[in-house]
Amino acid sequence: MYETPAGSHFHIKWSHQNNLDWECFDNFRDATNRAQELARPGEKFTIQMVLTTCPMKGFKAKLSNREERAE
Ligand SMILES: [Zn+2]
């Protein structure tokens, strides 16, 4: 399995787009399953790990929500 540093999560990166997909995934397998569901025939993707800070504007990762509960 992949080792995931604390706070990290995953995004789908479609081969025809410059930006990562907006959706955050807790683990590599979920991201891969979702990408395979969404992919149109012949469409390619990679799964990219995002460390700590989500680059997606206006979307907080599930992981960060979990940490905020302690407040
Ligand atoms: Zn994210």
pLDDT digits (tens, 9 = 90+) for 9-52: 899 999 999 988 988 898 999 999 999 999 999 999 999 998 86
Predicted confidence band of residue 4 (pLDDT cuts 50, 70, 90): low
CA 64/CA 22 separation, integer angstroms: 15
Q: Which letter, b or e, does each residue of 37-56 get, where b requires 16 or more Cβ atoms within 10 Å of its Cβ?
A: eeeeeeeebebeebeeebeb
Please tell me the distance between residue 28's alpha carbon and the centre of ligand 1 in angstroms. 12
pTM (predicted TM-score): 0.69
Q: What is the predicted pLDDT for the residue at 26? A: 87
Instruction: Note whether 48 and 20 are within 8 A (CB).
Output: yes
Please tell me the distance between residue 69's alpha carbon and the centre of ligand 1 in angstroms. 18
Please tell me the distance between residue 50's alpha carbon and the centre of ligand 1 in angstroms. 7
Q: What is the predicted pLDDT for the residue at 58? A: 44
Instruction: Note whether 27 and 4 are within 8 A (CB).
Output: yes
Please tell me the distance between residue 58's alpha carbon and the centre of ligand 1 in angstroms. 10
Q: What is the predicted pLDDT for the residue at 70? A: 46
